[in-house]
Amino acid sequence: MLGTICAQRFAPGGTADWAMAVGHGAIPQLHVEPIAMHLLDAMTREGFEEVIALHDRESGLRGWIAIHDTSAGPAFGGIRRFTYRSESEAMMDCLRLSRAMTDKCRLANLAAGGGKVVLLDEAHVDWDRAYAALGRKVEAMGGRFYTGPDVGTGEQELSNLVAETRFATDPGPNGPGELEESTAEGVFRGMQAALIHLDGKLDWPSQKIVVQGLGAVGLQLARRLVEHGAQVVGSDVNTERLDAVVKELGIEGLDSTEVLHHPCDVLAPCAMGGLIHDLTLERLQTRVVAGAANNVLARTLHGDRLHDLGILYVPDFVINSGALIRGTIFHLEGRREAVSTIGDRVANMVTEVLDEAVQLSAAPTRVARRLARRRLKELRDSNR
C-alpha cells in the first residue's frame, strides 16, 4: 500500500479546507520544512502506510495520526495527549507507538494492525471541541482506524469523541469495558510467567515488587499483587495519589526519585515510557523489569544492555497488550473476551518469547521484535 503524508486542516463543521498528500493528486506549493523530509525517511524505513498532521483552527488542536499497517485488518491505537517539547518530538513518538502497536497485534495474532494518535497538550486548546473534531476525522477514515484511551485521554474525552465516530472506544456500557483490568491482568500474568521462567516456581510472598505509577492500571496491578501476598512497594509522582493507595492497600510508599535504585525482584513501570536509558541502567537493583508502560526502553540497545547485566526485561509490547486484545475483539467480533482469558494469552506470549530468547541466547526485546516482524513480513507477502 502506498505510504502518504497528509497534512489535514479542519474547517468549521469538520470538512477540510486544504490538504496535502504525497502521491494523491496535486500538491499545493508549500514550503517544505525539514520535519517533512525526516518523516518520509522514517516512513520508508519502517513501512508506514500513512501519517496525518492534524490542525483544527476552531479548537486549536494540533497533533498526528500514524497508520503503520493494515495488512491483517484495521489499525488500532489510543490517543496520547502530552506536553511535548516540539512538533517533531510528538511526531516521532506517534510513529514509535504506532509501530509498537503493529508488533503487539502480530504477537497476539489479532486481525488488526498498528496506529496511534498523538496530540500536543497546549493551554490554548478547547479540548471538548478538539476531541469532537478528531472524532469527525476518525469517522471520515471509514473504519480503517479505531482509537481509544491512552495517557491524557479519559472518559470525558472519549465521550466527546464517540459522539462523532463509530470507530472509538465508548467509555460507557456500550463499549468493551474493563480495559484497565485487562491490561493489569496481562501484566500480572506476564510477570508471573517471567518469575517462573527465572526460578522454576512461584512464591509470591517472597517477591518484592515495585510498582512505578499508580494510575488506573498500576493500581489494578498493585491490588492483584497484594491479593496474592507479594511485598508491594508503590511509587507515584502524584503524592496525594500515592498516599491514598498506600492507605487503601496497606503497602509501602516510595519517593519517585528512589524507584530505580530500590532493591526488588520486579520493577513494574506503569507510567510514561523512556525509563531505561544510559543514565538509569547502572542504578537498577532488580531481577526483572515488567510493567504496563509503553516504550520503557529509550532505545532497543538498552534491552541488550539489560540482558548483559543479567536483568530479565519482558518487552512492553508483549506484556501490556491486554486492553488491545479486549478492544480489538470487541470492535471486530462484537464480544467481550474474559479478562482471565486475556491473562492466559499474555502469559503464553511471554513464555514463548522468553523460551526462544534462551534458545537463541538473545535479549527478549530482540527476539520479540524479530518474531513480530517475521509474522508481519509473512502476512504482507501473502497479501501480494
What CATH number does the domain containing 317 carry?
Answer: 3.40.50.720
Of the pLDDT bands very low, low, confident and very high (cuts 50, 70, 90), residue 36 is low
Q: State which residues form the domain around 119.
A: 4-103+110-162
| Same domain (yes/no): 156, 192 | no
pLDDT of 300 over the 90 cut:
no
| Same domain (yes/no): 199, 282 | yes
pLDDT digits (tens, 9 = 90+) for 263-280: 999 999 998 778 889 888
What CATH number does the domain containing 62 carry?
Answer: 3.40.50.10860
pLDDT digits (tens, 9 = 90+) for 39-61: 888 888 888 999 999 999 999 99
Say if residue 58 is exposed, middle or buried (CB neighbours under 10 Å; 0-12, 13-18, 19+): middle
| Same domain (yes/no): 114, 142 | yes
Q: Which residues of 207-216 are buried (b: 16+ CB within 10 A; e: fewer)?
A: bbbbbbbbbb
| Same domain (yes/no): 23, 49 | yes
| Same domain (yes/no): 134, 223 | no
pLDDT digits (tens, 9 = 90+) for 161-197: 999 999 999 999 999 999 999 999 999 999 999 999 9
Question: Does this model's pTM top 0.95?
Answer: no
| Same domain (yes/no): 123, 255 | no
Place of cell 471520515: 140
Given this model, what pLDDT does residue 57 score? 94
| Same domain (yes/no): 188, 158 | no
As a whole number of angstroms, the distance between CA 40 and CA 237 comes to 37
Q: What is the mean pLDDT of residues 108-127?
A: 96
pLDDT of 339 over the 90 cut:
yes
Query: Contact at 8 Å (CB) between 168 and 135?
Result: yes
Given this model, what pLDDT does residue 11 score? 40
Catalytic site includes residue 377 = no
| Same domain (yes/no): 227, 349 | yes
Number of domains the chain contains: 2
Given this model, what pLDDT does residue 383 score? 84
Q: What is the mean pLDDT of residues 55-74?
A: 96
**By C-alpha distance, which of 143, 89, 151, 157 is closest to 113?**
143
| Same domain (yes/no): 49, 75 | yes
| Same domain (yes/no): 248, 199 | yes
Given this model, what pLDDT does residue 4 score? 42
Of the pLDDT bands very low, low, confident and very high (cuts 50, 70, 90), residue 22 is very low
Cell of 150: 491512552
Q: Where are the beta strands (DSSP E) in 13-130?
A: 16-21, 50-56, 61-67, 75-76, 79-82, 113-120
Given this model, what pLDDT does residue 42 score? 83
* Active-site residue (options: 104, 116, 201, 208): 116
Of the pLDDT bands very low, low, confident and very high (cuts 50, 70, 90), residue 35 is low
Question: Pick from 136, 162, 188: which residue ends a domain?
Answer: 162
Q: What is the mean pLDDT of residues 86-92?
A: 90
> What CA–CA distances, in Å, run from 312 to 17, 57, 112, 325?
51, 47, 29, 24
| Same domain (yes/no): 115, 209 | no
